[in-house]
Amino acid sequence: QSGEAATTRAMFIRAPAILSAKDSVKVLAEYTTTDEQKAATGRDKVIVAVREGKLMATAFHPELTDDLRWLLLISP
């Protein structure tokens, strides 16, 4: 639902994180880092999905799971 945080399973394959986004970019999802990742990067979270206008980018592969929510976001 709109305004509520949802949990989803994601498959990351050598995917970079998005470290920042300008104001015109809507952050769709964030990944909470592990303690080890936080120690290495100093970040609690990283951005893993964004949208700007008709463009959407993810740092994971939504097509590799059975969860269709991400694919429905890009459908016309």
The pLDDT value given to residue 1 = 41
- The pTM (predicted TM-score) of the whole model is 0.75
49 within 8 A of 70, measured Cβ to Cβ: yes
pLDDT string in tens for the chain (76-residue length)? 445 567 777 777 776 788 899 999 999 999 999 999 999 989 999 999 999 988 888 888 888 888 888 777 765 5
DSSP string, the chain: -TT---------SSPPPB----TTSEEEEEEEPPHHHHHHH--SEEEEEEEETTEEEESS-GGGSS--HHHHHH--
Strand 26-32 versus strand 45-52 pairing type: antiparallel
